């Protein structure tokens, strides 16, 4: 089986796993998150042509494996590696994917900047994807029992984490600055009104 066939198999299986009703985001996660992360990552691979596209695509589809399968970080590492191996990913590549996801999940900007371009691409694409489409609106809908002030505080925290800790590529900072400022203003108690 070719690497592209293996990636497609992983992709198809992740899509099936996201449709599990036990996954809180089952109604929207593929369309409004994973496909957006993939699109941004592919565009970044066109800029950073030395990036290993196969690794990037595996990271895109595996970066939220623990969330999708509702497992702890440790359990999702073991289960994620097993899943990759069963999907036809080589042992070396499966270990590389799991190790890379651990780095992305730590959200340490100094560590991320020093890592491989594939890790930088997926971390930055994931952070940016939260600022596109209805991501924050859906979060409000899923948590309609929470006060507006608390939702704003959570959104500010998410935006700040994405912007300051996950997005490490300058192209993403430049391309998404308007969305970041708009969403941050939307989630702020101290709005900035420009006339």
Two tokens, residue 103:
């780095």
Two tokens, residue 1:
């089986």
Q: Quick one: pLDDT at residue 189?
A: 75
What's the full length of the chain, in residues?
A: 195
Q: What is the pLDDT of residues 52-86, one digit of tens each?
A: 999 999 999 999 999 999 998 889 999 999 999 99
Please state the three-class secondary structure of 31-94 as a single string: HHHHHHHHHHHHHHHHHCCCCCHHHHHHHHHHCCHHHHHCCCHHHHHHHHHHHHHHCCCCHHHH
Question: CB of 128 within 8 A of CB of 40?
Answer: yes
Place of tokens 């939307």: 186
Contacts 24+ apart (CB under 8 A), 87-95: 87/6, 87/9, 87/10, 87/13, 88/1, 88/5, 88/6, 88/9, 89/6, 89/10, 89/58, 93/55, 93/58
159 — pLDDT class (breaks 50, 70, 90) = very high
Task: Annotate 56-83 with b (16+ C-beta within 10 A) or e (fewer).
Answer: bbbbbbbbbbbebbeeeeeebbeebbeb
192 vs 126: CA distance, rounded Å: 27
- Mean of pLDDT values over 140-162: 93
Pick the CATH number of 3-186 from 1.10.287, 1.10.3470, 2.60.40, 1.10.3210: 1.10.3210
Q: What is the pLDDT of residues 14-60, one digit of tens each?
A: 999 999 999 999 999 999 999 999 999 999 999 999 999 999 999 99
């Amino acid at each position: 089986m070719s690497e592209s066939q293996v990636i497609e198999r992983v992709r198809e299986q992740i899509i099936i796993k996201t449709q599990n009703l036990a996954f809180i985001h089952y109604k929207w996660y593929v369309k409004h998150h994973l496909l957006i992360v993939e699109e941004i990552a592919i565009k970044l691979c066109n800029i950073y042509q030395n990036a290993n596209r196969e690794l990037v695509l595996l990271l895109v589809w595996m970066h939220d494996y623990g969330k999708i399968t509702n497992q702890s970080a440790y359990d999702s590492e073991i289960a994620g590696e097993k899943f990759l191996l069963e999907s036809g990913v080589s042992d070396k590549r499966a270990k590389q994917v799991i190790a890379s996801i651990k780095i992305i999940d730590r959200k340490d900007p100094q560590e991320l900047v020093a890592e491989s371009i594939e890790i930088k691409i997926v971390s930055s694409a994931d952070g940016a994807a939260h600022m596109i489409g209805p991501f924050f609106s859906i979060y409000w809908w899923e948590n309609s029992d929470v006060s507006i002030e608390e939702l704003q505080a959570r959104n500010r925290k998410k935006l700040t984490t994405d912007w300051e800790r996950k997005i490490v590529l300058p192209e993403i900072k430049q391309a998404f600055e308007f969305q970041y400022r708009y969403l941050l203003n939307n989630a702020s108690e101290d709005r900035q009104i420009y006339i």
